[in-house]
Amino acid sequence: MEAQAVEREGGMNGLEKLVLREGGCSAEVYLYGGHVSSWKNAQGEELLFLSSKALFEPPKAIRGGIPICFPQFSNLGSLPPHGFARNRLWALDADPQLDPPPNATAAFVDLILSPSHDDFKAFPHSFEYRLRVQLGPAGVLTLTSRVRNTNSDGKPFSFTFAYHTYFSVSDISEVRVEGLETLDYLDNLQDRSRFTEQGDAITFEGELDRIYLEAPRKIAILDHEKNRTFLVIKDGLPDAVVWNPWDKKAKAMSDFGDEEYKHMVCVEAAAIEDPVTLKPTEEWTGRLQLSLVPNTHVGGSLDVPNAL
C-alpha cells in the first residue's frame, strides 16, 4: 500500500525503489532488502551514509542506509551474518493491517516479506514480516517492523534483530553519542566480553564495535562540525549497537571507500542479548524514529524536535 506522496522509480542497476516526499524532505526505499537508502532534509542534505562503492547487486547487501538485520544479528546463530531480510526482494503490502498515519500529510509505504523455500530450509519457520516506512512532518523518519509467527505446527521461534542505520557525519573525530553512558556493553572487538561504559559520551579515536545493553529509548548523535544532532528513538528494541570500522577494516571491505569511515557512524536500535520469542499467532513490533535538531536544542530530556 502506498500513499499519494510516494512514487515508484527505477533505482540503481534497475532495482525498483519508492520515493517518499513530505514538506521538501524525502526518503528512498528499495524493494530489495526493504532497504531505506536515502533520507534528506528540506535543504536536500543527505542524512544517511551510503558508500560510494555500495553494490546494488543481489544477493549482495547494500552498504549504507538502513539495512534490516533479521532473523539474526551478526554471526549470533547458524544463518549468514545479519540474516537474510536485507538480501531478499520485498513486496508491496496490499493489506498492511495497520491504520494510515494520523497526520494526513505523512508519506508512507507498506512492505511485506515472507520466507522463500530456501529461507525456510535455513530458518524452518513461517512468518510474516511487515514494514512501514513513514516520512512525517519536519522530515521525521519512522520505520515500524511487525513480525508475526504463522507456524501451523504450534512451534515458537526466536530471532535477533537490528536496524543497522548508517548516519552521515562531517568528521567522526568530532562526533559524540550521548545516552549510553554508565551502561554495560558487549565489546565485539574482544570476543563480546562485557564492560561498563565509563565516559560521559562515546567518542571515536579508533575502531569501535559495541552492543549496549538495556539502552534508553532515546539516543543522541551530536555532529559538532555541522552543529546538528540526530535523535534516535526506539521502541521494542532494548539494545543499541555503535560501530565505526576505522581505517584498517575500511580498507578490507570491497564495498566501502578507504576514507569513508571518517564520514559515517552506525547507531543501531536492536534486540540482541535477549532474543525475541514468538509463539504461533503472536506478533512483535519494533519501531525506530529518526529526527534532526540543531545542537542547541538538545538537553537532558532529548526532546523530539519540531523542525528538521
Query: Catalytic residues, which ones?
Result: 164, 268
Quick one: how far is CA 69 from the chain centroid? 8
170 burial level (CB within 10 Å; 0-12, 13-18, 19+): middle
Residue tagged 536485507 (cell numbers):
86
Q: Measured between alpha carbons, how far apart are the two ends of the chain, in Å?
A: 26
Using an 8 Å Cβ cutoff, are 21 and 107 in contact? yes
User: Phi-psi category of 42—alpha, beta or left, where left has phi over 0 and alpha has psi -120 to 50?
Assistant: alpha
Measured CA to CA, the distance from residue 269 to residue 217 in angstroms comes to 9
The helix/strand/coil state of 176 is strand
Give the number of residues written for the chain: 308
**Cis bond before residue 59 (omega within 30° of 0):** yes
Measured CA to CA, the distance from residue 146 to residue 96 in angstroms comes to 10
Residue-wise DSSP of 130-159: EEEEEE-GGG-EEEEEEEEE--SS---EEE
Measured CA to CA, the distance from residue 225 to residue 8 in angstroms comes to 35
